[in-house]
């Protein structure tokens, strides 16, 4: 069994206003075989508010994420 990819999405006010909900939705809509490889967490705030929406994937901070950019990144981690 492979270790799930930890995807933490900031749902703080700033990131929320910048579109964090769309990131969450994009992951929830993934096909089950991909969704099952992701451990999705919502976090309150990273110290990256001005560059949101912020996401951390397996410890790597990513800023200014769009749904398509996020899904492309996740493809690098899942198999």
Binding region for ligand FES (CB under 6 A):
10, 12-15, 45-46, 48-49, 52, 54
**Closer CB to ligand FES, residue 17 or residue 72?**
17
CB of 55 to ligand FES, least distance (A): 9
CB of residue 78 vs ligand FES: minimum separation in angstroms? Answer: 24
Q: In the bound complex, what is the minimum distance in angstroms from residue 21's beta carbon to ligand FES?
A: 12
Tokens for 75? 């493809």
CB 63 within 8 A of CB 54: yes
Among residues 12, 7, 8, 9, the alpha carbon closest in space to that of 49 is found at: 12
Q: How far apart are CA 61 and CA 79, in angstroms?
A: 21
């Amino acid at each position: 069994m492979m270790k799930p990819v930890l995807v933490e999405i900031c749902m703080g006010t700033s990131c929320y206003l910048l579109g964090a909900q769309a990131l969450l939705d994009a992951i929830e809509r993934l096909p089950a075989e991909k969704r099952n490889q992701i451990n999705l967490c919502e976090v309150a705030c990273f110290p990256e508010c001005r560059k949101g929406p912020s996401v951390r994937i397996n410890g790597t901070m990513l800023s200014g994420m769009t749904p398509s950019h996020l899904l492309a990144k996740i493809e690098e981690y899942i198999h």
